[in-house]
Amino acid sequence: MSSFDVKSKPIIEIKNLYKSFGDNHVLDGFTMNLYEGENLVIMGKSGSGKSVMIKCLIGLEEPDSGSIEVMGKNIKELEHWELDELRTEIGFLFQGSALYDSMSVRENLEFPLRRHTKKFGVIEDTTPMVMEALENVGLAHTINLMPSELSGGMKRRVALARTLILQPKIILYDEPTTGLDPITSKEIILLMISIQKKYNTSSIIITHDVDCARVISNRMILLIDNINYAEGTFEELSASEDPKIKAFFK
């Protein structure tokens, strides 16, 4: 993908984010912006605070200090119900898919849909919306299966369909290709690109996968030593002579 016009309006602004767990400083003044329609890849070593950062972003972790603004709203200042409303605009794809294992694929997709009557109204028949989301990921035939009957790649796709059903403006991907074989990884990456094109979503992709970063990123941030150490396009960063940056692209 080509470089992205960063002059457009930021949809997410994170400033000086600090987060520690006891003596372990995970984020030391992390700052970043995400722009409308952009695919931003964040790479870093394990334990560098990438997942903690997106959990702070969605309100699952509370930062020690710093500000997070999503679509102009400061996360810290929101009431619980306001945060829930904002969360319908943000999709989150978990590393382990996190499908509700006591529910079928259909129920997994219906679950958020039936609880957001403000956004969607009371939906009598959810089947068309569920089918559309599943067709987007090529798994319409799994509608009545249980998560335990799906493979790892299929689970990831169903989780993506569940994320899409709320029609979010932003999607956060936490290591979307980790634990998948190269072919399935490629399928997931292509799926992410097609979804971005179809719905014009903005995405933050946390990954270790250089191939994934190369194909999908408009811009990249390298999280090293708990800060955003380097920022640029894939081509810029992969050509860097800095040994810390070079280590990621070997």
Partner 1 sequence: MNNNSKIVESFKTFLVEVGELSYFTSRFFKEVFRPPYEFKEFLRQCYNMGNRSLLLVSVTGFIIGLVFTLQSRPTLLEFGAVSWMPSMVSISIIREMGPIITALICAGRIGSGIGAELGSMRVTEQIDAMEVSGTNPFNFLVITRILATTLMLPILVFFGDTIAIFGSAMVENIKGNVSYLLYFNQVFDSLKFSDIIPTTIKTFFFGFAIGLVGCYKGYNCKKGTAGVGLAANSAVVYTSMLLFIIDFIAVFITNIFY
| H or E segment and range at residue 162 | helix 152-164
Dist. CA 206–CA 21, nearest whole Å: 20
Part in contact with partner 1 (CB under 8 A); list of ranges 23-31, 42-50, 100-108, 189-197: 100-108
Part in contact with partner 1 (CB under 8 A); list of ranges 8-16, 29-37, 99-107, 138-146: 99-107
Q: Hey, is 25 helix, strand or coil?
A: strand
Dist. CA 44–CA 216, nearest whole Å: 16
By CB under 8 A, the residues from 20 to 79 that bind partner 1 are 55, 58-60
What's the closest the beta carbon of residue 92 comes to partner 1, in angstroms?
Answer: 4
Name residue 10's beta-bridge partners: 35
By CB under 8 A, the residues from 127 to 146 that bind partner 1 are none
Q: Which is nearer to partner 1, 83 or 145 (CB)?
A: 83
100 binds partner 1 (CB under 8 A): yes
Q: Binder to partner 1 among 88, 104, 178, 238 (CB under 8 A)?
A: 88
193 binds partner 1 (CB under 8 A): no
Part in contact with partner 1 (CB under 8 A); list of ranges 25-33, 109-117, 178-186, 220-228: 109-117
Q: How far is CA 174 from each of CA 49, 76, 92, 156, 209, rounded to the nearest angstrom?
A: 12, 22, 8, 11, 12
What letter represents residue 163's amino acid? Answer: T
Dist. CA 135–CA 72, nearest whole Å: 33
Whether 223 contacts 229, CB under 8 Å: yes
Total residues binding partner 1 (CB under 8 A): 25
Q: Note the residues at the interface with partner 1 (CB under 8 A).
A: 55, 58-60, 84-88, 90, 92, 94-96, 98-102, 111-112, 115-116, 162, 166
